[in-house]
């Protein structure tokens, strides 16, 4: 996206920045500290990069309030409570001014069943399908090539990207964002094995998704065996995540890419799941728990836990065990030395 | 799905249930033991939940034949050989009565090559593409937005969900179910590196899929370098699974979500692969083997093995090693104590 | 693909083969050593299969120059510098002769914005969408049901398979191949958590992909928070891989299936990442490094490293630690023996 604004406009946008330097430069790019040059806005969002601040060539630098040091000539330091959040505000403003204007319309190539109910100010892009009895809430956008199943319900101001599939009867709240390739309402993986043959257990439930949920590209959410697989308000799911049938995910949870949750697991509110982590079926992960990446959750986790590992343990314990593991060669040598000593003594 | 039936009708459907309680209640929901209320059918499918039976408020409870205990007033216990299977039968019946009726038709928005052969009673939904020379067997359903490549062959009574891609020349048996986002026949990942440049090895083979195979959402099955990547009859694959080129999967195998099989591996019949497990290329996993979740198979596995771990070992051995691992801090302390003792003794 | 050629034609195609046996047989299949029969070309591409050469029934066998042994009667051995590369040449030839001929055309069902620029000899298949201001370079093929976002740029001679999504403003070089279900330009996973609510950080950057890149089915490449997520020329990515926002991948890298790279990580040229491996954010993996499968990269990796494990270590060290781990039961027994001995001695 192309944009251009003065530092002065930037300061007005941020509201409460403490300004150290001139406010006249024109900003037309955003870059990391090491890559920023004249005309770029940059920021210290992660302490790890603190030493890059004095050498950055960016014209304006968003910094935490307690940052010591002074700008180069012509450069301006903007101290704020949360530089990352401040940058997000700037990006929101840029997006607002640049976002393609999708007028309310139903593209003539879309295939909309006569019995579907389309709310006010809805944009349905090219080659979408909206099934019988489906309902699309006002202000929602289906970019194009989207499948909305029969009797599915989409809330207001949702944004559904190309190649998303919403299965029959599934329900989305308001302001839900689904990225390309998301599948909501595929059949759960359920079979009864009789005489060596896996007989399908029909999956007659649905998926319900709360308000303000965002789901990343190619993530899959299975419909329930009965009742509903549910995802709570405010939860954000990254790309390529698997959510199995009858899983219940609370509010404001985070799932990093390529994690997976097996059937009938319950995740309470504010749970964070690291990338490539797996959670087995029928367990409960308590409110506010954090599960590290590449972990395996095989049992219930009490509220507020910080765990990681295969299987998960309290984080400090897992690090401690890993440190002992690294010292195994030394331990084997020490035991051999002891044995030798004892033998020599008879 | 909405439904309503009496317990009496339920008993007739199940055939051989042993009935303990009145058969007059009306059932219009299915729920787990803890969540069921009046009007709900519930079941004991997993011993883990046995203690929830006496406190359930469900109107009808499917139980194993050897379950002791008595229903509450107004509640009915139905003892059957396999409660999960019985529930599946009920769900099948509900599905049969509620399933949207997809009449044989070719939607006018579908793009069907003139040379494609479409069998009797086929339903081709909106915005599908069927390529030159493709064949669709009788009774099959392409929901919509499906891609069927050139010369591809789909058997009878298959069900292909939206956004599925079947590549050129790939072949499906009868009653195959493919969920949204499945890709059958993408190129295998094959390169010859010459002078630091990865030169593509053409993938001129196909994919063959047997009868009664079900494949979950966004799973990918690569076409062979030559000949065929094959999946045997009755095999069921979960979401987001990767099957590489020239893999051969036997009959009645199960693959849990996010597992992956590398090129030219052979899995014999009735193999079960846990979630997030990886199998390297060019190995053979013997008939009836079970591989735990999050494991790494790096060598041939004899028939009937039960293995897990990174790398896989017999399950008991893996659990045993894990238990020793947990005791490492204690072992280090014991060795230090011995060293101290020996030193003090001179 | 069906094909038929004589061994003589094969020899001409290969150029420099050393021929041992008659050149008259007709080849109409390709198979592995163990499966090849009369009429099949086979090859020794992996030393592991060396013992299968004397027993193969294939009519022609591609072998390394230093292979000892003689063909069966009627069989021909073709010794070449690189049998796998030779086979690739043969497959390329077969593909060239069999590949469906996709004439330049824009299918009438495609929805092309008036402001899009379509180069010469472009094939746009059925039900594609090409957004406002997008540019498609000459000779490129969009198979069908492809989404090209607004202002997106596709180079020359690219091949985009069905159900691919290219987001707004993203840019592809020349000869890029994207398999079905690939998503380029989904939003990065970025939130600022304020009072327990995850506030979206707009992702206003793009994705840039170099020349000769191939990306496997259902892989996802997120757009940058600002600037660009970039993938260098010649890099090949397998299926179901996750590349997060602001990741920079160098030239000629390889990513095996189900691996993932977190935000702002940098991978220099010629890096190889094994299957199901995860790389955390904000780290640098140096040029030419190889990372084994199922590993976790949690820190910077110097150029030329060969690492594996969770967390990664030099490969030999990881194998060594694993070997000690296997011997833990024995170590516990030895320590117990020592304790017993010391106790008995008082």
Task: Give the chain C residue nearest B193 (alpha carbons).
Answer: C85
pLDDT at C48 > cutoff 90: no
- How close is the nearest chain B Cα to the Cα of A227, in Å? 7
What chain B residue is nearest to C339 in terms of C-alpha separation?
B338
Instruction: Please tell me which of the candidates C163, C270, C335 has its beta carbon nearest to residue B165.
Output: C163
What pLDDT does A188 receive?
97
Which tokens belong to A2? Answer: 């192309």
- Nearest Cα residue in chain C from A336: C334
Q: Residue B62: list chain A partners with CB under 8 A.
A: none
Distance in Å, alpha carbon of A174 to nearest chain B alpha carbon: 23
Q: Name the strand (E) or helix (H) holding C158.
A: none
Task: Tell me the three state secondary structure of residue C135.
Answer: strand
B92/chain A closest Cα distance in angstroms: 6
Contacts of B125 in chain A (CB under 8 A): 129
Catalytic residue among C123, C157, C179, C245: C245
User: In the prediction, which pLDDT does C97 show?
Assistant: 84
Using CA coordinates, name the residue in chain C closest to B239.
Answer: C240
Structure pTM? 0.95
Q: Which of A30-44, C87-101, C195-209, C247-261 has the lowest mean pLDDT?
A: C87-101
Judged against a pLDDT cut of 80, whether residue B60 lies above it is answered with yes
Question: Is the CB of C100 less than 8 angstroms away from the CB of B150?
Answer: yes
Q: Which residue of B has its CA nearest to A342?
A: B342
The proportion of chain C whose per-residue pLDDT surpasses 90, expressed as a percent, equals 88
| Residue from the list A92, A275, A332 with its beta carbon closest to the beta carbon of C262 | A275
pLDDT band at A60; cut points 50, 70, 90 = very high
pLDDT band at B110 (very low <50, low <70, confident <90, very high): very high
Chain B CA closest to residue C100: B150
Find the closest chain C residue to B130 by CA distance.
C126
Under an 8 A CB cutoff, do C240 and A240 touch? yes
Inter-chain CB proximity A202 and B94 less than 8 Å = yes
pLDDT digits (tens, 9 = 90+) for A223-248: 999 999 999 999 999 999 999 999 99
> What is the average pLDDT score of chain B?
95
pLDDT at B47: 85
Nearest to B278 among C94, C254, C293 (CB): C293
Closest CA relative to residue A191, chosen from C257, B214, B167, B78: B214
CA–CA dist B83, B74 (Å, integer):
20
Task: Label residue C101 by pLDDT band (50, 70, 90).
Answer: confident
* CA gap C56, C224 in Å, rounded: 52
Whether C200 sits inside 8 A of A179 (CB atoms) is no
Contact B236 A191 (CB under 8 A): yes
More confident residue, C38 or A345: C38
Q: Three-class SS string for chain A? A: CCCCEEHHHHHHHHCCCEEECCCCCEECEECCCCCCCCCEEEECCCHHHHHHCCCCCCCEEEEECCCCCCCCCCCEEEEECCHHHHHHHHHHHHHHHHCCCCCCEECCCCEECCCCEECCCCEECCCCEECCCCEECCCCEECCCCEECCCCEECCCCEECCCCEECCCCEECCCCEECCCCEEEECCCCEEEECCEEEECCCCCEEEECCCCEECCCCEEECCCCCEEEECCCCEECCCCEECCCCEECCCCEECCCCEECCCCEECCCCEECCCCEECCCCEECCCCEECCCCEECCCECCCCEEECCCCEEHHHHHHHHHHHHCHHHHHHHHHHHHHHHHHHC
d(CA B123, CA B105): 5
pLDDT for the residue A99: 76
Of C31, C92, C331, the CB nearest to B202: C92
Q: Which of A190-194, B201-205, C93-97, C166-170 has the least mean pLDDT? A: C93-97
Are A126 and C111 inside 8 Å of each other by CB? yes
Q: Which pLDDT tens digit goes with each residue over B139-172?
A: 999 999 999 999 999 999 999 999 999 999 999 9
Cα nearest neighbour of B277 on chain C = C276
Q: Are C217 and B335 in contact (CB < 8 Å)?
A: no
Confidence of residue C345 (pLDDT cuts 50, 70, 90): confident
Contacts with A264 from chain B: Cβ below 8 Å: 32
Average pLDDT (A161-177) is 98
Find chains touching chain B: ≥3 CB pairs under 8 Å.
A, C
Beta strand A272-273 with A290-291 is parallel
pLDDT value of position A345: 83
pLDDT at C99: 76
Q: What is the mean pLDDT of residues B131-137?
A: 97
pLDDT tens track for B63-94? 999 999 999 999 999 999 999 989 989 998 99
For A249-266, what is the mean pLDDT? 98
pLDDT bracket for residue C98 (50, 70, 90):
confident
- Answer whether C91 sits within 8 Å of B225, measured CB to CB: yes
* Count of CB pairs separated by less than 8 Å, A with C: 174
The set of chains that have 3 or more CB pairs under 8 A with A is B, C
Cβ contact, residue pair C282, A88, below 8 Å = no
Cβ separation of C331 and A326 shorter than 8 Å? no
Which of B14, B105, B217, B310 to probe the A interface (max A CBs under 10 A)?
A: B217
Q: What is the pLDDT of residues B183-236, one digit of tens each?
A: 999 999 999 998 999 999 999 999 999 999 999 999 999 999 999 999 999 999
Q: Which helix (H) or strand (E) holds C86?
A: helix C83-98
Q: Which residues of A are catalytic?
A: 245
Cβ neighbours of A293 in B, within 8 Å? none
pLDDT tens digit string along A4-57?
899 999 999 998 889 999 988 899 999 999 989 999 999 998 888 899 999 999
CB B76 within 8 A of CB B64: no
> Taking CB atoms and an 8 Å cutoff, what residues of chain A touch C163?
163, 181
B chain contacts of residue C146, beta-carbon cutoff 8 Å: none
What percent of chain B lies above the pLDDT cut of 90? Answer: 88
Identify all chain A residues contacting B270, using CB atoms and an 8 Å cutoff. Answer: 196
What is the rounded CA–CA span in Å between residue B233 and residue B219?
17
Q: Once rounded to an integer, what is the mean pLDDT over residues C233-246?
A: 98
pLDDT-above-90 percentage for chain A: 88
Chain-chain contact of B183 with C218 (C-beta, under 8 angstroms): yes
Average confidence (pLDDT) over B260-281: 98
**Residue B107's pLDDT band (boundaries 50, 70, 90)?**
very high
Q: What is the pLDDT of residues C124-140, one digit of tens each?
A: 999 999 999 999 999 99
Where does the pLDDT of residue A98 fall: very low under 50, low under 70, confident under 90, or very high at 90 and above? confident
Per residue in A266-325, pLDDT (tens digit) is: 999 999 999 999 999 999 999 999 999 999 999 999 999 999 999 999 999 999 999 999
Closest Cβ–Cβ partner in A163, A275, A342 for C260:
A275
Q: Choose among B198, B204, B320: nearest Cβ to C91.
A: B204
C298 included as an active-site residue: no
Contacts of B328 in chain C (CB under 8 A): 328
Average pLDDT of chain A, as a whole number: 95
Mean pLDDT, rounded, for A60-71: 94
CB pairs < 8 Å spanning A and B = 174
Higher per-residue pLDDT: B305 or A195: B305
Distance from CA of B194 to the nearest CA of A (A): 32
- Residue A55, pLDDT score: 94
3-state SS of chain B is: CCCCEEHHHHHHHHCCCEEECCCCCEECEECCCCCCCCCEEEECCCHHHHHHCCCCCCCEEEEECCCCCCCCCCCEEEEECCHHHHHHHHHHHHHHHHCCCCCCEECCCCEECCCCEECCCCEECCCCEECCCCEECCCCEECCCCEECCCCEECCCCEECCCCEECCCCEECCCCEECCCCEEEECCCCEEEECCEEEECCCCCEEEECCCCEECCCCEEECCCCCEEEECCCCEECCCCEECCCCEECCCCEECCCCEECCCCEECCCCEECCCCEECCCCEECCCCEECCCCEECCCECCCCEEECCCCEEHHHHHHHHHHHHCHHHHHHHHHHHHHHHHHHC
The angle subtended at Cα B55 by Cα B49 and Cα B60, nearest 5°, is: 85
Nearest to C258 by CA among B35, B296, A299, A14: B296
Beta carbons of B240 and A240 less than 8 Å apart: yes
Contact by Cβ (8 Å): C43, C64: no
Residues of chain B neighbouring A342 (CB-CB closer than 8 A): 342
What pLDDT was estimated at residue C186?
Answer: 98
Q: Which helix (H) or strand (E) holds C318?
A: helix C315-326
Q: Out of B107, B157, B245, B298, which one is annotated catalytic?
A: B245
Residue C191: strand, helix, or coil: strand
Alpha-carbon distance A222 to nearest alpha carbon in chain B (angstroms): 9
Across A208-213, average pLDDT: 98
Buried b (16+ CB within 10 A) or exposed e, A15-50: eebebbbeeebebebbbbbeebeebbbbbbbeeebe
Res A96: pLDDT: 86
Q: What is the mean pLDDT of residues B5-32?
A: 91
């Amino acid at each position: 996206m192309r944009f251009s604004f003065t530092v002065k406009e930037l300061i007005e946008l941020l509201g409460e920045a403490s300004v150290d330097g001139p406010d006249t430069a024109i900003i037309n790019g955003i870059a990391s500290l090491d890559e920023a040059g004249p005309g770029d806005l940059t920021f210290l969002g992660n302490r790890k990069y603190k030493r890059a601040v004095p050498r950055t060539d960016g014209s304006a630098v968003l910094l935490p309030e307690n940052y010591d040091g002074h700008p180069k000539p012509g450069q301006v330091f903007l101290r704020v409570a949360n530089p990352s959040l401040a940058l997000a505000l700037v990006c929101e403003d840029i997006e607002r001014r640049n976002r393609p204007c999708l007028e309310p319309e139903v593209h003539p190539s879309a295939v909309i069943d006569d019995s579907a109910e389309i709310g006010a100010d809805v944009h349905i892009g090219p080659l979408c399908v909206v099934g019988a009895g489906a309902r699309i809430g006002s202000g929602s956008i289906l970019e194009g090539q989207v499948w909305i199943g029969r009797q599915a319900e989409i809330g207001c101001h949702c944004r559904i990207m190309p190649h998303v599939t919403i299965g029959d009867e599934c329900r989305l709240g308001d302001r839900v964002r689904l990225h390309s390739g998301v599948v909501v309402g595929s059949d759960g993986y359920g079979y009864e094995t009789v005489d060596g043959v896996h007989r399908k257990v029909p999956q007659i439930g649905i998926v319900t998704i709360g308000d303000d949920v965002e789901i990343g590209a190619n993530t899959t959410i299975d419909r329930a065996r009965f009742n509903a697989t549910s995802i709570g308000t405010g939860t954000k799911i990254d790309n390529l995540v698997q959510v199995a049938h009858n899983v219940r995910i609370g509010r404001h949870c985070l799932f990093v890419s390529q994690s997976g949750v097996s059937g009938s697991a319950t995740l309470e509110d504010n749970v964070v799941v690291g990338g490539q982590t797996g959670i087995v079926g029928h367990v409960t992960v308590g409110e506010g728990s954090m599960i590290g990446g590449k972990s395996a959750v095989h049992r219930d986790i009490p509220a507020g836990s910080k765990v990681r590992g295969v299987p998960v343990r309290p984080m400090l314990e897992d690090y401690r065990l890993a440190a002992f593991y690294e010292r195994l060669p030394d331990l084997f040598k020490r035991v051999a030395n002891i044995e030798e000593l004892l033998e020599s003594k008879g």
